Amino acid sequence: MPVLERGGARLHYRVEGTGAPVLMIHSATSTGAHEWDALVRRLHHSYSCIVPDLRSHGASDHVEGALGLDEVIGDLRSLIAQVGLGRPHVVGFSFGAEVALEMEIRQPGTAQSLILASPGTGHSDGVPQVEKMAVRWPRSLRELHTPKHGPTHWRTILESLSDDAADRVQVADDVLSAVDCPMLLVVGSQDQPIRVQQAIHLAQLNSRARLVTMDGAGHAVHAANPDNFAAVAADFLASAAIESR
């Protein structure tokens, strides 16, 4: 895998396919391959899929005390520059969707379009306690980091990102309404109610946002129905490319 070196960390990523660039951002304690391989298989014939392991995740290095939204966004901006992506389409799930949205808010024009699966727009009343989240954290995500970082590293990631999230307030309505690129918001009907509500609110605020709700799917809406998700994403990417000309 190629490597980006930034801030004392070596960040691994892969590029697969040809065509317009699509940067794929995984969720907390996941990896690029675990999150996005199913989508890459469906898109790589038409798009160049750039799939990093975020810092502290998977094959990428961990730097103590340097894991939060600021560091991750800085890494991704450096990756966009290093690979020469220009204005890529950006896909994110959960924490990855929060990163994608915040990256565009901080530097408008970073993304040609955004596909946000189970997005979040901040926490008006705090974040769940780590202990409560850890009890139900999926075993599949816990085990992804064992080969490089050890069997308890998932907990380190969870604690660091939870601490970082606790300091972030709800994104203001006027900021959300000003995001000026095509957005596809995808949620499962059985997802966390706060995420469904925030996605609906964002779609109501911003005329460039389109909301798709997949019946019966939970939080990992892209994994629950990969074929349907890929089809919706491909249709959106094609229309976003035309809209951006």
pLDDT band (50, 70, 90) for residue 117: very high
Reply yes or no on whether the pLDDT at 35 is more than 80. Answer: yes
C-beta of residue 42 within 8 angstroms of C-beta of residue 230 = yes
Residue 201 in tokens = 């609110």
Reply yes or no on whether the pLDDT at 32 is more than 60. Answer: yes
Reply yes or no on whether the pLDDT at 145 is more than 70. Answer: yes
What local confidence, expressed as pLDDT, does residue 208 receive? 97
C-beta of residue 97 within 8 angstroms of C-beta of residue 121 = no
pLDDT (tens digit per residue) in 206-227: 999 999 999 999 999 999 999 9
What local confidence, expressed as pLDDT, does residue 243 receive? 75
- Mean pLDDT throughout 13-17? 98
Range of the domain at 134: 3-243
Strands 183-188 and 89-93 come out as: unpaired
Q: Specify the CATH number for the domain of residue 156.
A: 3.40.50.1820
Reply yes or no on whether the pLDDT at 126 is more than 60. Answer: no
The more confident residue out of 125 and 192 is 192
Strand spans (E) along the chain: 3-6, 9-16, 20-25, 47-52, 89-93, 113-117, 183-188, 209-214
d(CA 146, CA 32): 15
pTM: 0.96
Strand order in the sheet with 9-16: 3-6, 9-16, 47-52, 20-25, 89-93, 113-117, 183-188, 209-214
- Interhelix angle for 69-83 vs 95-106, to 10°? 70
Reply yes or no on whether the pLDDT at 245 is more than 70. Answer: no
* Residue 190 DSSP class: T
Reply yes or no on whether the pLDDT at 123 is more than 80. Answer: no
The more confident residue out of 173 and 8 is 173
pLDDT (tens digit per residue) in 37-62: 999 999 999 999 999 999 999 999 99
Averaged pLDDT of the chain: 94
d(CA 168, CA 166): 6
Percent of the chain exceeding pLDDT 90 equals 87
Q: Is 230 exposed, middle or buried (0-12, 13-18, 19+ CB in 10 A)?
A: middle
What local confidence, expressed as pLDDT, does residue 29 receive? 97
Reply yes or no on whether the pLDDT at 127 is more than 80. Answer: no
Which is it for the CA torsion 149, 154, 159, 161, positive or negative?
Answer: positive
**Total number of domains constituting the chain:** 1
pLDDT (tens digit per residue) in 67-99: 999 999 999 999 999 999 999 999 999 999 999
What local confidence, expressed as pLDDT, does residue 122 receive? 85
Reply yes or no on whether the pLDDT at 128 is more than 70. Answer: no
